Amino acid sequence: MSELVNEVYKFGRAQFVCYNWGSMPELPEVETIRRGLEKCITGKKISGVRVLCDKSFIGPKEVVEGAKVQRLRRFGKALVIDLDNGVSLIIHLRMTGQLIAWGFLSGENPQQKKSKTSVSSGVGADDKPAFAGGHPSENFVAKLPNKQTRVEFDFEGGKLFFNDQRKFGFVKPVPTEEVEQDKFIASLAPEPWDMTGEELWAKLQRHKGAPVKAVILDQKVICGLGNIYADEALYFAKIHPARKAGEVTREEAELLIRGARAVMEKSIESGGSTMATYVKADGTRGDYLELFAEVFRREGKECRRCGAEILKTRVAGRGTHYCLQCQLCRGFSGGDKLQRKELSEALELRGHRNKEGD
């Protein structure tokens, strides 16, 4: 990671001018953050906590002050920081959360000089974070704290910022021994690596009337899939997202599990939405999706598998992307009708575009 970051930084903040949102943190991003933060804060003492938004910190901040970080764990999309005083911090980034660490690597970081007394009053602009992950945005390279900063942790030798544009995420201290009994964590289903196709199939049967995409987004059914990876896994398994869960075969459920593993492994490998992948070597903003997405936000483009057009629709109240040809509606009731409608809409859309002379 450090090589990429150094490459990035020499271009400076002024380079990041084009605005283009990436997407939300899901399991691979949280795992990437866990690995990155582990290197920064393990063994470090929290000297102070500033809560800038009450909603974002659930509980008394005093219980973590003075404690040292022992280890970082992940449960689905939740990050858990265990401290040495019997307290753990459960952190959920939801859609727009970010964790940005400053300092910590002072030995390797030429920007952290004594003259930079700004550490106590804010950081950014001329410095670079030691690690940044989560919802990709300017905050990865902006001055901090800023108006999206919700919680600020002072560590010996560095700072950790919890930013969250939409305030859906949270930091919550709980006794370490009660982490696994936390209402959210306790309800999580196994991750795709700990589940067989048969088990997933059995769960799909319990929600047989709902669209398969809605069911696999449920963390109590299978843990870790969000909107991006649900679309990608369904594409991998060639399953139409609107198909009724009860009509997915055992074989398809097996493919779906394999697809979920494959797309998330690929994303973890590429670093998820960390600073290194978000900011490209030429200093421009990267859309980290382009590293692995086959359908997500690729509507109107060609399917890399069959050449047909990727479409965008709405399933379970979520923007949903799929290949009309690969993810056929075959074998499910009402499918032909839906397919015809989609085909005609797609053709109509194409007609409009041709008329506009693109």
Contacts 24+ apart (CB under 8 A), 254-257: 254/196, 254/197, 254/198, 254/200, 254/201, 255/197, 256/197, 256/200, 256/216, 257/192, 257/195, 257/196, 257/197, 257/200
Q: Give the 3-state secondary structure of residue 98.
A: strand
Indicate whether 167 belongs to the interface with DNA (CB under 7 A): yes
Site for DNA in 143-162 (CB under 7 A): 147-148
CB of 165 to DNA, least distance (A): 5
Of 186 and 281, nearer to DNA (C-beta) is 186
Contacts with DNA, 298-337, as mask; x by CB under 7 A: ----------------x-xxxx------------------
Region of residue 331 (phi > 0: left; psi between -120 and 50: alpha; otherwise: beta): left
Query: Interface with DNA by CB under 7 A: which range of 18-26, 37-45, 65-73, 344-352?
Result: 18-26
Instruction: Please report, as residue ranges, which positions from 80 to 99 form the binding site for DNA (by CB under 7 A).
Output: 92, 94-96
Which one of 16-24, 63-71, 330-338, 340-348 is the stretch in contact with DNA (CB under 7 A)?
16-24
Q: Which is nearer to DNA, 130 or 228 (CB)?
A: 228
What sign has the CA pseudo-torsion 77, 83, 88, 90? negative
What's the closest the beta carbon of residue 131 comes to DNA, in angstroms?
22
Task: Determine the interface stretch with DNA among 73-81, 152-160, 260-268, 331-339 (rule: CB under 7 A).
Answer: 73-81
Site track for DNA across 92-131, x = CB under 7 A:
x-xxx-----------------------------------
Q: What 8-state DSSP symbol labels residue 303?
A: P
Among the listed ranges 9-17, 116-124, 220-228, 268-276, the one in contact with DNA (CB under 7 A) is 220-228
The CA R_g of the chain, rounded to the nearest whole Å, is 22
Q: What CA–CA distance (Å, rounded) separates 317 from 326?
A: 22
d(CA 177, CA 180): 7
**Is residue 26 involved in binding DNA (CB under 7 A)?**
yes
Taking the C-alpha atoms of residue 318 and residue 183, their distance in angstroms, rounded to an integer, is 25
Give the CA distances from residue 261 to residues 92, 140, 217, 273, 295, in Å, rounded to whole numbers and listed in that order. Answer: 21, 28, 14, 18, 17
CA atoms within 13 A on the CB side of 233: 29
Catalytic position from the list 34, 77, 213, 243: 77
Residue numbers at the binding site for DNA (CB under 7 A): 19-21, 23-24, 26, 55, 76-78, 92, 94-96, 147-148, 165-168, 183-184, 187, 206-211, 214-215, 217, 219, 226-228, 245, 314, 316-319
Active site residues: 25-26, 77, 318
